[in-house]
Structure 1
Amino acid sequence: MPRFDAEYVPRSAMAIYAHPDDIEFTVGGTVAKWARAGCEVTFVLITSGNSGTHDRKFTRKTLERVREREERESARILGVARVVFLRHGDCELVPTLALRKELVRRIRRHRPEVVLCNDPQALFFDDRYINHPDHLAAGKAALEAVFPCAEMELLWPVAGPVHKVHAVYVSSTVAPNTWIEVADTIETKIAALAAHRSQLGDRDISPMILEWARGEARRAPAGKASGKKSPSRPKNAEAFRVMRIVREEN
């Protein structure tokens, strides 16, 4: 059985998020690190961010095309194997049974060892950010698709052969238990984010991303834990609550 620690690299991973750029902001460093080490990564974007602008030159259809093009370029920079767009409406996402079934179909088709998604319980971040309702809905739908639905033989057989995901890496969480060092891939993450010009324009986001990654690293424990020497605190990190569905054998 795999060990789901900070050094673990899955053979395959699927990131299920609401909008283009969500993955890059939250887990882009980890994705780049895993892809560089040989992990086959699939992105599933439930919406194409077709409401995500205050610029009235766009329609929802033209913005969808732009944001999908940006996402494909960003995924290429990160080393992602494939990008799937489900094209639900931005700002209209609800974790319905129909959406769960769509995600089960994708999980069974691509058979990821690990799924990454948002924490559906993370409504507030200090007093500076109210989490987007699409983020909460995407996280809830992803978790429900992973467990138990994707692995149940009698449920939706037309969605493909069942598959058991080994672990879920939950990002943007107030209760992380794993920190992944991304110092070697932080510049790749920044480059991938820069591809999302419809959202960021030409502004330099490097200071913001570096400060965020250092802040995440400062949250990581250091010293000794459970009688074993812990790894040194990372320099730049992405934090996760790792939920182990397949447990390690003793």
Structure 2
Amino acid sequence: MPRFDGGYVPRSAMAIYAHPDDIEFTIAGTIAKWARAGCEVTFVLITSGNAGTHDRKFTRKSLARVREREERESARILGAARVVFLHHGDCELVPTLALRKELVRRIRRHRPEVVLCNDPQALFFGDRYINHPDHLAAGKVALEAVFPCAEMELLWPGAGLPHKVHAVYVSSTAAPDTWVDVTETIDVKIAALSAHQSQLGDRDISPMILEWARDEALRAQAGKAAGKKDTGRSKYAEAFRVMRLMRE
């Protein structure tokens, strides 16, 4: 049955996504909420989005510099503790064993209680958007790094001490089961996304973001109503499929 998160805040969290702005479009309200409550948040961006433009004034190198700068500003707005760029090629991402090992190293170094990532099975959204292959690859390799690799003592001992992630929050999924109320941080989400001017230009994305977040809140509330349990009302929400790998 659908559920709101009940105010859960992990001690630490790591968001593993393909491009600068992926976090902001999908989970920034949750990140801002958790960071505000004391969660130590690490962003891991596997690429720097160095092919993400139709503007010919950019080279791949110059675009990467701009997008990394935008992401650092966005992370500051959201309250993230650090941003890590792995510098893989945009539109060229493949979930290789080498990349999995890179992520294991980061997970073992920062030891997050929760990892957030994309759903690697979410290929189509409606009839107008085919999911970016980098999103699918990033989600797949993030999950592989979390389980079983990061926690296995005999695997890659040079990558750090083993670490077991407690839960994975999977975003952009067709099968969400948990919603985070982001009513109090929706403005922070919009401000963080607005930092990505190379992607947005003069577009005002506020109405779109508000509509998405409002739809998710209504979807969760409808599910609760069907289950005959009243958990209150949320104006804005972000949706996840939550995998609980360790239960208290």
Question: TM-score normalised to the size of structure 2?
Answer: 0.95
- C-alpha contact 1:50 1:61 (8 A) present in aligned 2: yes
Residue by residue, what CA displacement relative to the aligned partner does 1:108-165 show, whole Å, maximum 9, x if unpaired?
A: 0000000000000000011121000000000000000000000000000000000000
CA spacing shift, 1:234–1:91, aligned 2, 3 Å: same
* TM superposition shift of 1:219: 1.5
Please point out which of 217, 222, 225 is paired with 1:223. Answer: 225
* TM superposition shift of 1:234: 2.0
Residue by residue, what CA displacement relative to the aligned partner does 1:164-197 show, whole Å, maximum 9, x if unpaired?
A: 0000000000000000010100000000000000
Instruction: Give the counterpart letter for 1:129 in structure 2.
Output: Y
Residue by residue, what CA displacement relative to the aligned partner does 1:60-85 show, whole Å, maximum 9, x if unpaired?
A: 00000000000000000000000000
| Unpaired runs of at least 5, structure 2 | none
Task: Give the number of equivalent residue pairs.
Answer: 243
Question: Sequence identity of aligned pairs in percent?
Answer: 84
* TM superposition shift of 1:7: 1.5
Instruction: Give the counterpart letter for 2:211 in structure 1.
Output: E
CA–CA separation in structure 2 for the residues paired with 1:127 and 1:244: 32
CA–CA separation in structure 2 for the residues paired with 1:219 and 1:102: 37
CA–CA separation in structure 1 for the residues paired with 2:116 and 2:124: 20
Residue of structure 1 equivalent to 2:177: 177
- C-alpha contact 1:25 1:193 (8 A) present in aligned 2: yes
CA–CA separation in structure 1 for the residues paired with 2:211 and 2:49: 26
Q: How do 1:10-159 residues align onto structure 2 when only pairs under 5 Å count?
A: 10-159=10-159
CA spacing shift, 1:175–1:6, aligned 2, 3 Å: farther
Residue of structure 1 equivalent to 2:246: 246
- C-alpha contact 1:6 1:179 (8 A) present in aligned 2: no
* More off after superposition, 74-83 vs 231-240: 231-240
CA spacing shift, 1:231–1:99, aligned 2, 3 Å: same
Q: How much is the aligned-residue C-alpha RMSD, in angstroms?
A: 1.2
Residue by residue, what CA displacement relative to the aligned partner does 1:222-247 show, whole Å, maximum 9, x if unpaired?
A: 2374x8x3412421110000000002
Instruction: Give the counterpart letter for 1:117 in structure 2.
Output: C
Question: TM-score normalised to the size of structure 1?
Answer: 0.95
CA–CA separation in structure 1 for the residues paired with 2:129 and 2:75: 26
Residue of structure 1 equivalent to 2:7: 7
CA–CA separation in structure 1 for the residues paired with 2:83 and 2:111: 15
Instruction: Give the counterpart letter for 1:213 in structure 2.
Output: A
CA spacing shift, 1:146–1:230, aligned 2, 3 Å: farther
CA–CA separation in structure 1 for the residues paired with 2:155 and 2:230: 42
Does the residue aligned with 1:223 lie in a helix, a strand or coil?
helix
Moved >3 Å (runs of 4+): none
Instruction: Give the counterpart letter for 1:219 in structure 2.
Output: R
* TM superposition shift of 1:202: 2.5
Instruction: Give the counterpart letter for 1:141 in structure 2.
Output: V
CA–CA separation in structure 2 for the residues paired with 1:173 and 1:131: 11
| Unpaired runs of at least 5, structure 1 | none
CA spacing shift, 1:169–1:92, aligned 2, 3 Å: same
Instruction: Give the counterpart letter for 1:116 in structure 2.
Output: L
